Structure 1
Amino acid sequence: MSNTSGGNLLIVHGGGPTAVINASLYGAIEEAKIHREITGIYGATGGIEGILKEGLIDLRQQPDSSLRRLPFTPASAIGTSRTRLSETDYETILANLLKKKIKYLLFNGGNGSMDTCGKIFRLAREHDIRVLGIPKTVDNDIAVTDHSPGFGSAARFIAATTAEVAQDVKSMPIHVCIIEAMGRNAGWITAASALAQKKSDDAPHLIYVPERAFDSEAFLEDVQERHKEYGGVVVVVSEGIKDSQGNSVVPPLMTKGRDVYFGDVGTHLAMLVIKELGIKARSEKPGIIGRASIAYQSSRDREEAILAGAYSVQAALQGETGKMVGFKRISNQPYQCEPMLIPLEEVMMHEKKLPNQYINERGNGVTPEFIEYCRPLIGEPLLTFSNLLF
């Protein structure tokens, strides 16, 4: 079914930004400009709040020079949010979409945003408002799709950062350095640090992901063994690691409503190494630096983010609704992926964890299968100090 009546298009961002969220925005804007059926192109300022408070920006009025910079600009150019919505809020959202004559709604976000997107779709479908999701997350934990825009750049950042830290530690091998990676309950970013390895004895020497229960005693054994072998040890650990009971390895610092705030995992483990092993240790936590880094943006990630934005517009114009753009991998060598549409019901609040075959038997590293999966997503080869060594 194709569109005949036309109308306005609205783009909204949700959740934490990435290095390529604006690339998807750019792709959607440029594709929308081509089609006469789309009368107005708007962005919701500040995420879903922009719809609730009728804060829309006319994207057609933005200078071309500004739009061309979007794919190379970190964070969200139109703003984003993590607003929790009530039933009344959803009714307000629908009323405002109708008021602004929105025919096409594109929601760019992660798991939580796709849940919101799906709920809006259910309310809006009887009014012929077409709702499409555009995947976005550094965590790479959206279900069904092979990967999500944002992950490739985050993976490139953690791999390059690990390689650079490794050179520092290798040049003065006297301590254990623990790098804490983002990713919530999924270990994709943490695992991507393995791309820093050129040889078997290269850092990271140990990798711990939340898909395996964390054993402090086994961790200390691993660290002590690597320290005896290398002197300097680089460990990459996920912020979301838990013990065998499913509890965070770090005690909670504060509880506020439904939110629980924990201390830094890297700091906790560094102190554990110092106290239990008597080895000098330190922790590093790049945090949001990893999702805001344009210097390490993956060119492939950027190109696929643009494609996802454009594809969502094309799908909406063809009558599709209640679906999210995803990627289907065709091959690794040469790398080839193609866009596809996934029903929102299949991705709403479903976390995609790191598969067991990507984690080694000991639970302190990754397998060659993961390297084969991840390497194409970071784009061109990393240029790090290790490439310059004889």
Structure 2
Amino acid sequence: MSLKQSGNLIIGQSGGATAVINASLVGAVEAALADQRIGNIYGMHHGIEGLLKEDIIDLSNQPNSVWSQLLHTPSAALGSCRYKLQEHDLEHTIEILRRYDIRYMLYIGGNDSADTAHRLAQAAQQANYELWIISVPKTIDNDLPFTDHCPGYGSAARFLAQATQDSTMNTLSIPWHYPVKVIETMGRDAGWLTASAALGKRSADEAPHILLLPEQPFQEANFLTQVEAIYKRLGYVIVVAAEAIRDEKGQALGSAGQAGVDAFHHPLLSGAAQYLVELVKRELKIRARFDKPGDLQRMSSAHISIPDRDEAYLAGKMGVQALLAGESDKMITLVREDQPAYHCTTGLADLSKVANVQRLMPDEYLTEDKTMVTQAFYEYALPLIGEPLVHHTQLEMTRIRR
């Protein structure tokens, strides 16, 4: 397409909200307000599902103070959705866009949102409607291809790394009470988030001791052997497991707790941590418990990574600039520069190559047994979480004897 006319812009947020998704919204709105080629700025209330209902918000006349405050506000200010466009929705969506003279669209989301944006770009082209669509990446799963990392991941990784250290301190205070602890993380098919729990680990004996990633089939006998060996050596074991880990037959652990599927047919899982706890208690006769941070790992405003927030803002801003440059059917990417100090710029990737594609943890980031991360992962992930984590101090247990 060639850029022939000005028009209105609409922005949507989709999928699981993060601690910094609103920073992308702020970056986009502030860039749009500064350019006269964009008329009105609209927001989809609850993503594409809201647009189909013509539930549209005016973003052009918000109080100026809103944007500086939203920059630090977790969750999706516009409201999110998990709606898969049906074939009959495409024509209806284009009709709505025509009616509101919307020529530019930004959709902030992950894999499934990229699919939505790609299908709308194709539908607009088939309908001979001049529409420019850019996808702005967002996912704590960090599994989008062609981008070094995804906005949202750094903050969730920071939360989990710190939470693992903090939770371990409770175990250390009374290790015989529940000497085995399982911390369950989000992460549908990729282990990036689970791996981040190790970012506070400074030695082999420090927690976490075992990582269970969804890419690696769970081997019960190996797991029990490993837990027992660590328990005998240290007196306690901290395991971090993805909610979607599967056995060697591809069956999700604790799948009896599966609560159906979402609109994109992804399983809604619950029960992996409980399964592991019951396994340890039954087979090793060791007391065990689990922690499930749940939404906190996506929403903790106290653990927002400053680089993550800044890059989320940049991705939204560059999304608008890409639209105005005539780019469409693309996703903004983060490009790590080869410099001594960590620095990222942005690029573009074709949505046809992004939609419904996942980037899994590469082997170079995992030890040979696939249950811990390597130095290469630390070098990759530590810059993304911002300021150094809090490392806790323990007393020297020098006992007094008479």
The structure with the largest strand share of the pair is 1
Rate the CA distance shift 1:245–1:347 in 2: closer, same or farther, 3 A: same
Provide the residue aligned with 2:133 in structure 1.
Answer: 131
Provide the residue aligned with 2:193 in structure 1.
Answer: 189
Alpha-carbon separation, structure 2, partners of 1:306 and 1:389: 42
Alpha-carbon separation, structure 2, partners of 1:2 and 1:254: 48
| Of 372-381 and 333-342, the range deviating more from structure 2 | 333-342
Alpha-carbon separation, structure 1, partners of 2:10 and 2:87: 21
Alpha-carbon separation, structure 2, partners of 1:78 and 1:108: 11
Provide the residue aligned with 2:144 in structure 1.
Answer: 142
| Normalised TM-score (structure 1) | 0.96
Provide the residue aligned with 1:366 in structure 2.
Answer: 373
Residue 172 of structure 1 deviates from its aligned partner by 2.0
| Of 320-329 and 245-254, the range deviating more from structure 2 | 245-254
Provide the residue aligned with 1:278 in structure 2.
Answer: 285
What secondary structure is seen at the aligned counterpart in 2 of 1:269? helix
Alpha-carbon separation, structure 2, partners of 1:99 and 1:346: 30
What secondary structure is seen at the aligned counterpart in 2 of 1:61? coil
Where in structure 2 are there 5+ consecutive unaligned residues? 397-402
Rate the CA distance shift 1:313–1:260 in 2: closer, same or farther, 3 A: closer
Pair 1:104-2:111 in alignment: no
What does 1:276-355 correspond to in 2, within 5 Å?
A: 276-331=283-338, 333-355=340-362
Work out whether residues 259 and 270 of structure 2, in 8 Å CA contact, stay in contact via their aligned partners in 1.
Answer: no
Alpha-carbon separation, structure 2, partners of 1:124 and 1:194: 45
Pair 1:231-2:238 in alignment: no
What secondary structure is seen at the aligned counterpart in 1 of 2:345? strand
What does 1:30-45 correspond to in 2, within 5 Å?
A: 30-45=30-45
Provide the residue aligned with 1:56 in structure 2.
Answer: 56
Where in structure 1 are there 5+ consecutive unaligned residues? none
Provide the residue aligned with 1:207 in structure 2.
Answer: 211
Provide the residue aligned with 2:220 in structure 1.
Answer: 216
Work out whether residues 332 and 373 of structure 1, in 8 Å CA contact, stay in contact via their aligned partners in 2.
Answer: no
Q: Which amino acid aligns with 1:139?
A: D
Q: Percent identity?
A: 42
Q: Please list the CA deviations of residues 356-390 of structure 1 after superposition, one character each: whole Å capped at 9, or x if unmatched.
A: 1111111211111111100000011113534x878
Q: Please list the CA deviations of residues 304-340 of structure 1 after superposition, one character each: whole Å capped at 9, or x if unmatched.
A: 0000000000010011111000011123741122100
What is the number of equivalent residue pairs in this alignment? 389
Residue 262 of structure 1 deviates from its aligned partner by 3.6
Residue 259 of structure 1 deviates from its aligned partner by 6.2
Alpha-carbon separation, structure 2, partners of 1:294 and 1:287: 14
Q: Please list the CA deviations of residues 112-168 of structure 1 after superposition, one character each: whole Å capped at 9, or x if unmatched.
A: 010011000101233111000000001001111110000001100100000101111
Rate the CA distance shift 1:158–1:389 in 2: closer, same or farther, 3 A: farther
| Normalised TM-score (structure 2) | 0.93
What secondary structure is seen at the aligned counterpart in 1 of 2:240? strand
Work out whether residues 267 and 283 of structure 1, in 8 Å CA contact, stay in contact via their aligned partners in 2.
Answer: yes
Rate the CA distance shift 1:206–1:218 in 2: closer, same or farther, 3 A: same
Rate the CA distance shift 1:139–1:260 in 2: closer, same or farther, 3 A: closer
Alpha-carbon separation, structure 2, partners of 1:224 and 1:251: 25
